[in-house]
Chain A
Amino acid sequence: MPCWKRIAAPLLAALAFPLAAGASDLPPWSERVLGTPLDLEAVAGLPMQERIEALRARGERLFIGQFLVEEGAGRPMATQAIIPTKRRRPPPQRFQRLAGLDAGACASCHHEPVIGGGASFTANVFVSEGFESADFDTIDPQFSNERGSPALQGAGLIELLAREMTADLQRQRDEALATARRTGAPAIADLVAKGVSFGRIAADPDGGLDVSAIDGIDADLVLRPFSQKGVFGSLRQFTVNALNHHHGIQAVERFGATWTGTRDFDEDGVEDEISAADVTALVVWQATLPAPSRKDDLPDAWRQASERGEDLFADIGCTSCHIPALPLASAVFRDPGPIETAGTLREADVEAPLEIDLAALDFVKALPRDAEGNILVPLYGDLKRHRIADARDPTLGNELLGQRFVDRDVFLTAELWGVGSTAPYGHRADLTSLDEVIRAHAGAARPAREAYEALADDDRQAIIAFLRTLEIPR
């Protein structure tokens, strides 16, 4: 062992990182991000607050750190695709804004107004399945969709809401199937979760299910709350995707030998680039990011306008999709979660999921509860996809490619919590003001948009005043 390690390692381990995160053998000037493996079992045995702190410390380091080539950054022979896919030939440049790599760190694109937030147009990403167009170097939209980087604050609560809604919807499906089998007659069931309608299903006595009338959700009735398209089911799935796409850091749980036959799928000379434990740390860090809140130090004029604007926001129908709050029964975040499929760590892959009780966090404690004790999550959304563009105004359907079976003009309702901190707006982050993005609503949102446009100037200003109180605290 080099002499500096003998001397410094024990001390640095105690100073640089929480002890539970694992002893460091790196000098303090090390540029490595992934050098110190996380001792997940030790972390899991800690009291809740310490567990959260340890995981957050590790997760933040991974989220902020600029990954190095020698620890796996780059994917010379792998595309950005979610399914491990080989490139035909190595790219001429390691970094490339379209097919990626496009970022050295997660925080490169998630940093406004604070780390974990969104970013301006400059940090847009190009979303492509990456299967057939591994080598494209054009911005022709036939190859990818350009998207703004969303803020992650409150993502843990969003995922928990989605898990509960998925369980509700799948229970309704199972009940319809059981009824049809029992009665020998087709059973129709309206799908409703937390007050949000997702259309209806028809169950046949033979166990067949007609899902042609479902609305705003995938046919497997898994509510996928992440990405602007609503096509990723969990922070973990998204994290594994993004690590490969944006950084070329390939998670063992998907790109490792079990599913690809090699421990170095991207052929960059680095094996087993990021472990399941480190992905967990990243997930927990994101899941515990404080949710956006309401600005509470308003001058009187703003406060009055905001109060009136909040009422108007509801009156003109905006809250039919931008629902002010959804009730959450349990704030216990388990990782891995219940809906993962192979390629993302699953519950049954582990002896027991790691549990993080978000209710122990101050920002969750501060949220109101309803009479049943549910936490009221003020997301201003419905976690449902809607057609948001039409022939008269295609602005918000500004893409040529569908994504993951979702049509090009259908998007997840944007959660408006934090909207006062996340300009510019729209899926491409190319609408400069709240007024502009409201006036871009079409399709299913056209009635609300037209009601907004019909308001007097000061009423529209009141709505803007209200929306601008929804902020991500600095």
Chain B
Amino acid sequence: MRRRGTALRPAWAALALALLGGLQAPQTGFADEAPAPVPVFVEEAKPAGIDHSYTGPWEYFVGGGAAILDCDGDRRPDLFLAGGDTPSVLYRNRSATGGPLAFEPVETGIPERLLENVTGAYPLDIDNDGIMDLVLLRVGENQVLRGIGDCRFEPANRRFSFNGGRGWTTGFAAVFEKDLAFPTLAFGNYVDRSAPGSPWGTCDDNVLHRPRAGEAPDYSESFVLTPGYCSLSMLFTDWNRSGEPALRISNDRHYYRGGEEQLWALPPGRPPRPYRRSDGWRHLKIWGMGIASTDLDGDGLPEYALTSMGDTKLQTIDQEGDDLLPVYRDIAFERGVTAHRPYTGEDMRPSTGWHAEFQDVNNDTLQDLFIAKGNVEAMPDFAAFDPDNLLIQQWNGRFVEQGDRAGIALDRRGRGAGLADFNMDGLLDLVVVNREAPVSLFRNLGREDEGRRPKPLGNWIAVALSQDGANRNAVGAKLSIRVGARSLTREIGIGGGHASGQAGFVHVGLGVAERAVIRVRWPDGNWSHGYRVFANQFVLIQRGDENARYWYPPR
């Protein structure tokens, strides 16, 4: 039997909680079971100046992405929102530091026709000029937009000799391969609508664009990744710590025949090749919608969350013996992330999951999992009211659904999304693109305290890397953040989620640590020395510098 030390007696507890703002964990069974702090989100898209929906017919049942990027060089995250058959919009971030969120649409210089039929978007500095570019996934020709500063862009398909194809693109990922000056771009295509018998069994091929050698990006060569199985999401991943990225593709079984989840090897200078059964790869058939990866168990190998219709998968490598094979075990049930049906309301039908993203939303050092949810359109066998998930990781490794407490359980059909600190207060905010409904923009107010004023969450740092020459933003780098006896890791990648990506500060919750030591494994595999930083700071690390610099938002 447990003893209590100076445990609060009820009468005193009531008074103390008023004064001390609920510092004590609420004395309930649920709180004991899931004591990790729950952030409070308030939806404020409209007052923030964002009024946008993702709309359109069948082709836009999927997609609906958001790109989070700094388009004007002020280091604050701006927001590009796909619109389907509605023109996409770029919003400049005008949020006061620590204050309500505020955005304004900006004139981008992008021809209107290119902003239509957009399913998703990913930010990436393709030409290494220090200005963020933008890749638009479209129904029709995909478009690379070259950033020219102050949130203006110019079409660059011709400039970069990039053939955007004519497909129905819903997935994207990018990586800087060894010794290549420009990124390799992978595009995931969905159904080939022109094929006989479409849509059943007519999944389009995916495409990989490797840059040719030269002074400027030249994507005139491409590899067709066939067979394609109706990809809805893809990411590059160093699944075996080899330093060589592989391409993980999540596919929608709804339309494919004989398909499966895929993993492609990218041997340097050689064509990509799919992992097969003989390589250890196991057949897995899901309604793959979105991917996220993070290293949950600290073994240096990523775990993958795969959203689907019904239950979400959480895969960890199943290593037996010394050889590392791409054999994965599903730990979603034991970790509590199946998220297979709505957690609130009366609708007991299965869920439909889309964007997945690991982030530490409560700054307690533990990665949490956000999943955007929403019926494809009106599928009768799946939940109509299907709120987004906020699965908060507990110290025992299990995740507990807290979407309702957090205030994000809206009746909207979520698709793409992104977690980013829009008002630069150290708390991750949330944007969700919804199908045929307004975009949701949630501001994180802090720790939920039983209806009282929200309280602060844990300590944090936000890290931005830079290096000279190619790959200025260090895509593919790994951060190892030492706090006490623990190492927290983050990887800088472009891809995954559902049609949504981001670039900019990497957010790291530090819990009660007042300082941290950051080591960087740069994309070429070289490790930095340790950078000593204090908590609750934005940190700039330029490769080769002895010390990190701090950055402060305008006040």
Contacts and interface: CB of A to CB of B under 8 A. Distances in A.
Interface string A209-237: 11110000011101000000000000000
Interface string A15-57: 0000000100000000000110101111010000000000000
A207 B70 CA distance: 14
Contact of A342 (B3, B16, B512, B553): B512
B455 interface: yes
A1 interface: no
A86 B8 CA distance: 25
B12 A22 contact: yes
Nearest to A252: B24
Contacts of A207: 74-75, 551-554
Interface string B308-341: 0000000000000000000000000000000000
Most buried by A among B364, B458, B483, B552: B552
A104 to B, nearest CB: 16
Contacts of B24: 252, 256, 272, 275-276
Interface string A272-284: 1111111000000
B292 to A, nearest CB: 23
A261 interface: yes
A34 B7 CA distance: 10
Contacts of A219: 533-534, 550
A269 B2 contact: yes
B106 interface: no
A276 B16 CA distance: 9
A350 interface: yes
Given A34-B5, A40-B20, A261-B394, A348 B455 contact: yes
Given A269-B3, A273-B5, A342-B363, A40 B32 contact: no
A37 B23 contact: no
A278 B6 contact: yes
Interface string B4-36: 111111001001101111011100000110011
A71 B19 contact: no
A350 B453 CA distance: 10
B159 interface: no
B512 A343 contact: yes
Contacts of B551: 206-209
Most buried by B among A177, A178, A249: A177
Interface stretch (A77-85, A136-144, A147-155): A77-85
B512 A83 contact: yes
B511 interface: yes
A264 B15 CA distance: 23
Given A83-B511, A181-B554, A342-B457, A261 B537 contact: no
Interface in A318-358: 341-343, 345-346, 348-352
B554 A212 contact: no
A343 B511 contact: yes
Contacts of A277: 16, 19-20
A271 interface: yes
B514 interface: yes
Contact of A174 (B3, B513, B515, B555): B555
Nearest to A22: B12
B73 interface: yes
A4 interface: no
A273 to B, nearest CB: 4
A79 B12 CA distance: 31
Interface of A is mostly: loop
A95 interface: no
A34 B35 contact: no
A151 B291 CA distance: 57
A272 B23 contact: no
B2 A264 contact: yes
A131 interface: yes
B71 interface: no
Given A262-B395, A271-B7, A341-B536, A40 B16 contact: yes
A276 B15 contact: no
A283 B5 CA distance: 19
Interface string B359-390: 00001100000000000000000000000000
Interface string B516-555: 0000000000000000111111001000001101111111
B194 interface: no
A83 B483 contact: yes
Given A37-B8, A270-B3, A275-B6, A405 B515 contact: yes
A258 interface: yes
Given A85-B484, A275-B24, A341 B19 contact: no
Contacts of A274: 5-6
B74 A206 contact: yes
A71 B550 contact: no
Contact of B37 (A83, A258, A269, A270): A258
A259 B512 contact: yes
Contacts of B537: 220
Interface string B434-461: 0000000000001100000101111100
Contact of A346 (B9, B396, B456): B456
Contacts of B363: 342
B31 A257 contact: yes
B37 A272 contact: no
Given A71-B5, A208-B540, A351 B25 contact: no
B13 to A, nearest CB: 9
B512 A254 contact: yes
Contact of B35 (A210, A218, A257): A257
Contacts of A132: 485
A218 B532 CA distance: 11
A154 B447 CA distance: 35
A260 interface: yes
A70 interface: yes
A34 B8 CA distance: 12
A174 B9 CA distance: 45
Interface string B33-74: 001110000000000000000000000000000000000011
Nearest to B7: A272
Most buried by B among A70, A249, A270: A270
Contact of B459 (A82, A218, A253, A342): A342
Contact of A271 (B4, B364, B458, B511): B4
Nearest to B517: A405
A37 B19 CA distance: 14
Nearest to A232: B514
A212 B549 CA distance: 9
A263 interface: yes
Contacts of B32: 257, 263
Contacts of B73: 206
Nearest to B509: A342
A40 B19 contact: yes
A59 interface: no
Interface in A387-434: 404-405
B6 A34 contact: yes
A381 interface: no
Contact of A257 (B3, B5, B25): B25
Nearest to A254: B512
Given A83-B513, A272-B8, 18 more contacts: A34-B6, A37-B8, A42-B15, A81-B484, A81-B485, A84-B512, A131-B485, A178-B554, A207-B553, A212-B546, A218-B534, A220-B534, A257-B31, A273-B5, A276-B23, A342-B363, A349-B20, A404-B515
21 contacts: A37-B8, A39-B12, A40-B20, A70-B3, A71-B5, A82-B514, A83-B511, A178-B554, A209-B552, A212-B547, A220-B534, A257-B35, A258-B447, A259-B512, A263-B25, A263-B32, A272-B8, A275-B8, A342-B510, A350-B19, A351-B453
Across the A-B interface, the 10 shortest Cβ-Cβ residue pairs: A261-B395, A343-B512, A83-B484, A257-B35, A273-B5, A220-B534, A257-B25, A41-B15, A131-B485, A72-B5
Interface of A: 22, 34-35, 37, 39-42, 44, 70-72, 81-86, 129, 131-132, 173-174, 177-178, 181, 206-212, 218-220, 222, 249, 252-254, 256-264, 269-278, 341-343, 345-346, 348-352, 404-405
